[in-house]
A and B are shown apart, each in its own frame.
Chain A
């Protein structure tokens, strides 16, 4: 069973119930391994932010510099996309970015669970973003928010078609937002596991097997490096796209 686990690249995505909490309205509730890692991520982020800034030094130390860099990096991104009035969404975007980044990076630790490889998690986050956009859009612009679907300067003949396309593209956003993160994390971890599995399988075939295992071993190293990049990049992409969608909510006119 142990060897079967090792070569099975999908095993790592299984959600286990750590503490069953019973049923509510025909739904099984439990504290799961994914739940545990969500809270580990929250604890890491808050711990990092608070420990890094505990000295409140005028001239920052190493850790405080990193915290400030993270802050200014995200603040710069939000300000660049949304402008000064969009800074009230900065905590939201910052939370999304750090949360996804922490979950992605936690997933890189061997035997740790990758929460962002669960479609339900990425879809929930994407829906949270899109509902925020819709609510902010209507609160801020009233019914004028539907102008988002009516591009300026389009001939009347084409308007129904264009509006239909705009509406479809708007509702495709949460789908692409969730699938991008989910797909990247899932595929990356499967590939990593497959190549790592080759090492063990080939290594079992004696001397030449060990020799042949060098290739997948180097591949695993390379993919691991790539996955660290993807972990950061996907978190950043998610945050930036959130900013871009929020910009539509603030300024629905194209």
Chain B
């Protein structure tokens, strides 16, 4: 449509008037403003998309990723420390068991050594005692034999003294000895 500028302005003015009254057109369906709306929508939404995709979302994603990494690192660190303490506990228990075994071995070994020593000593002592007993018995034997040997002499003397007191005669020593030994022999 070939419009002169005046006509264009006139129609615009009429449009504006129609705007003010919006009598015949429901405002959302008024096509006169569609082009501008689409233009500004494209610009504003394009701007929003650019800023959101290039600046805002990478920033939020970065924060979330940092936190995720940090949590993962903390968890792995905790896992590592737990592993370490578990290892330490295991090592401690192993050492404890070893020490206990060692102590048992030492106790058993010293027990057997001491009991062997004791047995040996007792054996020595018993042997010494047996030897002493033997010598003592031997001595008792000799003393007893000596004593028995002296019994004849004493008996002879006592017989001589009794005889001389009873019969007031001197009996010869030989006779008395003979009588005594005969009596003893009986």
A residues bordering B, Cβ < 8 Å?
10-11, 13-17, 21, 23-24, 26-32, 34-35, 38-39, 41-42, 45-46, 49-50, 53, 56-58, 60, 64, 67-68, 71-72, 90-92, 94-95, 98-99, 117-121, 124-125, 128, 182, 186
Contacts and interface: CB of A to CB of B under 8 A. Distances in A.
Nearest to B16: A17
Contact of B37 (A26, A35, A128): A35
Contact of A124 (B8, B15, B27, B38): B38
Interface in B6-38: 8, 12, 15, 19, 22, 26-30, 32-38
Interface in B56-104: 56-57, 59-64, 66-67, 70
Given A23-B8, A49-B56, A91 B49 contact: yes
A26 B8 CA distance: 9
Contacts of B44: 35, 38-39, 41-42
B53 A95 contact: yes
9 contacts: A28-B36, A41-B48, A42-B44, A53-B59, A90-B57, A92-B49, A94-B52, A99-B45, A120-B28
Contact of B40 (A26, A34, A60, A92): A34
A222 to B, nearest CB: 25
Nearest to A24: B35
A120 B37 contact: yes
B56 A50 contact: yes
Interface residues of B, number: 42
B185 interface: no
A27 B35 contact: yes
Nearest to B5: A23
User: What are the 5 A-B residue pairs with the smallest beta carbon separation, nearest first?
Assistant: A91-B53, A35-B40, A38-B44, A49-B56, A27-B35
Given A15-B37, A28-B36, A99-B45, A117 B28 contact: yes
A29 B8 CA distance: 14
A46 B36 contact: no
Contact of B52 (A49, A57, A64): A49
Given A15-B37, A32-B36, A34-B37, A42 B48 contact: yes
Contacts of A95: 45, 48-49, 52-53
Contacts of A98: 48, 52
B131 to A, nearest CB: 94
B35 A38 contact: no
Contacts of A124: 37-38, 41-42
Contact of B51 (A24, A26, A46, A67): A46
A91 B38 contact: no
Contacts of A32: 33, 36-37, 40
